[in-house]
């Protein structure tokens, strides 16, 4: 019934258009950040956003209600393609969905390689021990 009501309200021009410029950044094995811009039409009436995500090929979306941009998706499956989209919500209902974005999480192995146990990067030591192009160290 809710979908039918939203369809009717769309015709009256009281629901916001689709959120714009959706993109996924900071992808890791189990999380990713999703950000977007407010809709062109009735963006000022938006009270929140609903975000939907699923494993590509799986018909069931997990819906995260009342979110804002940027939003960090957690609990994703490593090494898998995911699909995400966002809908703007105002007092009249849910507007049009954004474009769907497909992204792939890192494999758990890739992430492990990025954080080796026992390895601590020290930027100061790195820069102090750096060799200059003429073969001299930064200590010389």
* 40-100-87 Cα angle (round to 5): 45
Give CA–CA dist 92/64, Å, rounded.
Answer: 19
38: pLDDT strictly greater than 60: yes
How far from 84 is each of 55, 62, 64, 69, CA to CA, in Å? 9, 10, 11, 13
- Give the model confidence (pLDDT) of 84-112 as tens digits: 999 999 999 999 999 999 999 999 875 55
The answer to whether 95 touches 74, Cβ cutoff 8 Å, is no
Where do the domains of the chain lie, and which CATH numbers do they carry?
2-107 (2.60.40.10)
- Give the model confidence (pLDDT) of 52-72 as tens digits: 999 998 879 999 999 999 999
The alpha carbon of residue 88 and the mean position of all alpha carbons in its chain are separated, in whole angstroms, by 15
**0.85 exceeded by pTM:** no
């Amino acid at each position: 019934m809710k979908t039918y009501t939203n369809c009717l309200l769309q015709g009256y021009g009281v629901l916001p258009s689709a959120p714009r410029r959706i993109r996924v950044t900071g992808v890791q094995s189990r999380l990713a950040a999703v950000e977007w811009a407010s809709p062109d039409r009735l963006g000022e009436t938006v009270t929140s956003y609903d975000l939907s995500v699923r494993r590509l090929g799986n018909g069931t979306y997990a819906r995260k209600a009342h979110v804002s941009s940027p939003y960090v998706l957690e609990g994703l499956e490593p090494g898998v393609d995911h699909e995400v989209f966002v809908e703007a919500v105002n007092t009249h209902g849910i507007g049009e969905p954004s474009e769907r974005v497909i992204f792939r999480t890192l494999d758990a192995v890739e992430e492990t390689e990025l954080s080796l146990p026992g390895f601590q990067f020290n930027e100061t030591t790195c820069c102090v021990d750096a060799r200059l192009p003429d073969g001299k160290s930064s200590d010389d």
